[in-house]
Amino acid sequence: MEADAVDSTFDRSQLRDPSLLREDLFIGGAWTPGSAGRRTDVVDPATGAVIARMADATDADVRRGIEAAEAAAPAWGTTTAIERARVMRRWYDLIVANADDLAAILTAEQGKPLAEARGEILYGAGFVEWYAEECKRTYGEVIPTNVAGRRLLTLRQPVGVSAAITPWNFPSAMILRKAGPALAAGCPMIIKPAEETPLSATALAELGARAGVPDGVLSVVAGPPATIGEILTSHPGVRALSFTGSTEVGKLLMAQSARTVKKVALELGGNAPLIVFDDADLDAAVAGAMASKFRNAGQTCVCANRVIVQSGIHDAFVQRFRTAIEELTVGNGFEDGSEQGPLISEAAVEKVQRHIGDAVAGGATVVSGGGRHPLGRTFFEPTLLTGVRPGMLVAREETFGPVAAVIEFSTEDEAIAMANDTPFGLASYFFTTDLGRMWRVGEALEFGVVGVNTGLISYEGAPFGGMKESGVGREGSRHGIDEFTELKYLCVDGLGG
């Protein structure tokens, strides 16, 4: 099905508060065009229209951001948790109050349907709310002593200045998932958003300032990624780096951060298996596969990349999955009823085409879709492939697009081996109604996140992160704040007794 048109353009005057759309850098609490005056176009991927011209940071601008953060760190790190929680709560309230505008900005620069964008805003805001509460609970401990007259204590203190480098696929939530725990822990943060989607970042910074986040505690520097990454990773004043993006860039940043031994948290690529066993509830399996695979047009690191289906249920599952896929409405994210927007770029479309081409050359069948959508540009048809085999590109690499690749299997052991046969280990899913199988498979999967009978696993109160080459560290939950705290041991002697 098709939504009406691709030409419904974004117009900033439609925003209830147009002053949320900021095209400058935010450094040390001030908006600045950047010291070289250079700008990069921000383009609506649905129409190709230039919606803003974002300032580019120079080396000097990035260094100023770090210096402002260093200056702000002592005061922010020693405010009481209650004071930080109040500021964060105000930020959360402002994000929620402005959710419609933030969603419109997000759809304009990223393409996802407006309802999905609004969902992302609220999901991201959840991290701010959750960590506003959690900062009151960053407890230390008293350890039973080993020596009379000595007491052993631990404190959890802010790690210091932190940096975030974030991707275009969740331009708002990936920032808030990092800034929430960082600010809660007492750490200033310098954010480098993706080139395609800087406007969500600056809108959030504007709301942070209105909420009373002190100058220098939250800065946004957009611009040349390698240069900014090099400064953020080499500067000794930056003590923690949190990155979400490709495994390739994550490895580079990890190596660069080794020079100053920073704390690093990396959320990298995935190659999620979604296993449907013969005993699965078919409705739940199809709904879960749809939700996991086609969220954000397949452009998430937790999207099912391999749909691994047992022989006994294979044909029934494929038939129902196909029907659901063919009912998806592709269209401009601003059109009512649009369920799948454009892909982020021409390069993304080419990668999807390469994966489909390789699968078909190897014997896979295109059951549905398979090509560019009649809407043109970077719109792509929701696609279903069957007869996929594990060696094919579509099963080995993250496709990051709306392509469901179905692989058939026979036994539970075979499914587990197939699922784990990847250097990645972020999200995985399986569908079964057998309780014993739920435990066996849940424990055997080498993935940081396992969804059982569901395709949607994200929640700010749960730990999100990967094993193997999918990353290090966890975001969300009480564990997420550990990436921004140091555990200090105090050994106090001479107490007598």
Ligand X SMILES: O=C(O)CCCC(=O)O
Ligand Y SMILES: NC(=O)C1=CN([C@@H]2O[C@H](COP(=O)(O)OP(=O)(O)OC[C@H]3O[C@@H](n4cnc5c(N)ncnc54)[C@H](OP(=O)(O)O)[C@@H]3O)[C@@H](O)[C@H]2O)C=CC1
Judged by CB, which is closer to ligand X: 244, or 428?
A: 244
Name the one range near ligand Y by CB under 6 A: 209-217, 242-250, 324-332, 427-435.
242-250
Q: Tell me which of 17, 67, 70, 195 binds ligand Y, using CB under 6 A.
A: 195
Q: Give the burial string for 77-109 (b: 16+ CB within 10 Å, else e).
A: bebebeebbebbebbbebbeebbbbbbbbbbbb
Judged by CB, which is closer to ligand X: 77, or 245?
A: 245
- Work out whether 168 is an interface residue with ligand Y (CB under 6 A): yes
Judged by CB, which is closer to ligand Y: 85, or 189?
A: 189
Both tokens of 310, joined, read 């047992």
Cβ 464 to ligand X, closest distance in Å?
6
Phi, psi of 217 (to 5 degrees): -80, -30
Burial (CB count <10 Å: 0-12, 13-18, 19+), residue 462: middle
Nearest Cα neighbor of 188 from 154, 122, 232 is 232
Both tokens of 478, joined, read 């009480």
458 binds, among ligand Y, ligand X, none (CB under 5 to 8 A by kind): ligand X
Nearest Cα neighbor of 92 from 122, 58, 56, 68 is 122
- Work out whether 342 is an interface residue with ligand Y (CB under 6 A): no
Cβ 207 to ligand X, closest distance in Å?
20
Cβ 355 to ligand Y, closest distance in Å?
11
Which amino acid belongs to residue 190?
A: I
- Work out whether 60 is an interface residue with ligand Y (CB under 6 A): no
400 binds, among ligand X, ligand Y, none (CB under 5 to 8 A by kind): ligand Y
Residue ranges in 281-310 that form contacts with ligand Y under rule CB under 6 A: 301
Of 267, 339, 398, 483, the active-site residue reads 267
- Of all residues in the shown chain, the one whose CB is closest to ligand Y is 229
Please count the other Cβ atoms lying within 10 Å of the Cβ belonging to residue 346: 11
- Of all residues in the shown chain, the one whose CB is closest to ligand X is 458
408 beta partners: 309
Measure the CA–CA gap between 395 and 372, rounded to whole angstroms.
21
Contact track, ligand Y, 397-416, x by CB under 6 A = -x-x----------------
The DSSP element (H or E) to which 488 belongs, if any, is strand 485-492
Nearest Cα neighbor of 44 from 111, 94, 97, 102 is 111
Q: What angle do CA 435, 439, 444 make, to 5 degrees?
A: 145
Phi, psi of 106 (to 5 degrees): -65, -45
First CA to last CA across the chain, in angstroms? 79
Please count the other Cβ atoms lying within 10 Å of the Cβ belonging to residue 379: 25
Q: Tell me which of 181, 229, 333, 448 binds ligand Y, using CB under 6 A.
A: 229
Judged by CB, which is closer to ligand Y: 318, or 356?
A: 356
Name the one range near ligand Y by CB under 6 A: 82-90, 117-125, 167-175, 456-464.
167-175
Q: Dihedral of CA 92/95/99/104: which sign?
A: negative
- Work out whether 249 is an interface residue with ligand Y (CB under 6 A): yes
130 binds, among ligand Y, ligand X, none (CB under 5 to 8 A by kind): none
Q: Tell me which of 244, 340, 428, 485 binds ligand Y, using CB under 6 A.
A: 244
Q: Dihedral of CA 54/5/111/346: which sign?
A: negative
Active site annotation includes 335: no
Q: Tell me which of 194, 289, 325, 328 binds ligand Y, using CB under 6 A.
A: 194
Cβ 167 to ligand Y, closest distance in Å?
3
302 binds, among ligand Y, ligand X, none (CB under 5 to 8 A by kind): ligand X
Cβ 457 to ligand X, closest distance in Å?
7
Strand 151-158 to 141-143 pairing = antiparallel
Residues at the contact surface with ligand Y, assessed by CB under 6 A: 165-169, 192, 194-195, 225-226, 229, 244-246, 249, 252-253, 267-269, 301, 398, 400
Q: Active-site residue numbers?
A: 267
